[in-house]
A and B are shown apart, each in its own frame.
Chain A
Amino acid sequence: MRWCDHPGFWLGSEVLQNYGCRMAAGLGITLQLVVISVSLGCVAGLGLALVRLYGPRWAGVMVGSYTTFFRGTPLLCQLFLVYYGLGQLRPFWQDVGLWWFFREPFYCALFTFTINTAAYQAEVFRGAIQSIGRGQFEGALALGLHRWATLRHVILPQAMIVALRPLGNELIVMIKSSSVASLVTLFDLMGATRLAFSRSFDLSIYLYAAILYLVMVEIIRRLWDVMEKRLTRHVVVR
């Protein structure tokens, strides 16, 4: 018996005995999707925010349209646009040697989630950087720091504290939204749950999935509380 068969026996749930391992595998896929896309999106989002704030005007406008598009349309629609829509350009992808990427639902979901969360995180970083007082920039200038050093040593450390909470929220939102990956034939936690339900018609499987999602979200929430407390210990009570 594998480890993932155990919970079903402890709880005496037949459906969980039969599909426990599929659920566990699905949980793994969900975690991979979320962790990879949010990490990549974080780097991309920070870059986009900096371009929008300090880049040339045309680049700022482009980043603005990018964030507006991805924040203004549903993730499901974006996912279908990438998986089915870009998949339609198969001859082109084969020519440029990228078909292996756009053929796989996993990579498509990963790609879509990354560019989606990058747009949201770009807005978070932009807001955080803008919330830092002018005096900080002027002080750094007076000390003779050049632009990059100002950003790296003065502005970003402060902005990150402001961005921490919204970034945690974004992570939670991504965990929840990643469930739409199940709609492009991917067996993430939601996909495995749907499969189990469609075969067993046992509703309790949805409740077990709900508990798993809740546990993930609660862990992140607690973790973020601890992180925030630790990172703001030098700040006087606000």
Chain B
Amino acid sequence: MFSNLHLIGFGDGGWGWALLQGAGVTISIALATLPFGLALGLAIALMARSRSAVARWFATVYTTVFRGIPELLTLYIIYFGVQILVQRGLEGVGIKGFSIHPFVAGMVALGIVLAAFSSEVWVGALNSIHKGQREAGAALGLSKAQIFRLVVFPQLMRVALPGLGNNWMVLLKETSLVSVITLQDIMFIAQRGSSNTKEPLLFFATAAMIYLAFSLVSWWFFERLERRSNRGHAAFGGQTR
């Protein structure tokens, strides 16, 4: 294994640049999914607390389904399912050759799953905000949207941060699944490299190290972010998580 380290280097016949590009794709899809998934999750959380029974029912079904089925299955359903449905629809009007880009399919699938998991975090955070905050906002004559944007949301982030940090860590690792729909992320490159060079141990160990580096950086970052957002808040019992 160690005699072949040049295979993951940047020189001639080395896969270094390819692996770096794969790492770039992994980070891009994770970062692209994050805002979409979190926003959808917040919408689902607001539905779960809404007065309308239909909205509450929808939120329950959504979270139950997408928390209960494997991410891989969601990915396949989105990638193949939507593709086939849209193709059938388009063939009806005479357009052929439609295909979803794997990046978009991966982003949508991971985003849908992230929304289901993050909505639980958002609900918990929303529940932690005292009713008096909204009432005070209303007493100041703020509209409902303004109350949410100016009063509730800033306080929400502090409480939601640890949970969302976990969601991010899970998302980062789940991105490895998009390699099965031919998106060229770290896992995809590592698979291709190992089948070309017959050195799977080297390539998958390298891939693991890259993921580990991402995870460690994320852990460090969220720890700092949490400490920063907790300024001025005494942590009861010294624990904030």
The chain A residues found within 8 Å of chain B, CB to CB, are 68-69, 71-78, 80-81, 84-89, 172, 175-180, 182-183, 190, 193-194, 197, 201, 203, 206-207, 209-210, 213-214, 217-218
Contact = CB atoms under 8 A, between A and B. Distances in A.
B205 A81 contact: yes
B204 A214 contact: no
A203 B80 contact: yes
A80 B187 contact: yes
Interface stretch (B43-51, B63-71, B151-159): B63-71
Q: How large is the interface on B (under 10, 10 to 19, 20 to 34, 35 or more residues)?
A: 35 or more
Interface string B204-220: 11011001100110010
B204 A180 contact: no
A57 B149 CA distance: 48
A61 to B, nearest CB: 16
Interface in B194-239: 194, 198-201, 204-205, 207-208, 211-212, 215-216, 219
B73 interface: yes
Contacts of B208: 69, 73, 77-78, 81
A73 B68 CA distance: 22
Interface stretch (B12-20, B121-129, B134-142, B170-178): B170-178
B75 to A, nearest CB: 10
B68 A213 contact: yes
B69 A73 contact: no
B77 A206 contact: yes
B164 interface: no
A75 B174 CA distance: 9
B72 A190 contact: yes
With a 10 A CB-CB cut-off, give which of A73, A84, A207 has the most chain B CB atoms. A73
A217 B207 CA distance: 31
B190 interface: yes
A56 to B, nearest CB: 25
B27 to A, nearest CB: 14
A89 B180 CA distance: 25
16 contacts: A69-B208, A69-B212, A80-B190, A85-B205, A87-B200, A88-B200, A176-B70, A177-B70, A178-B70, A182-B72, A183-B180, A190-B73, A197-B76, A201-B84, A210-B77, A214-B68
Contact of B73 (A69, A75, A179): A179
A223 B211 CA distance: 35
Contact of A84 (B67, B173, B194): B194
Contacts of B21: none
A206 B211 contact: no
A77 B207 contact: yes
Interface in B63-116: 64-65, 67-73, 76-77, 80-81, 84-85
A140 B193 CA distance: 57
A86 B205 CA distance: 10
B28 interface: no
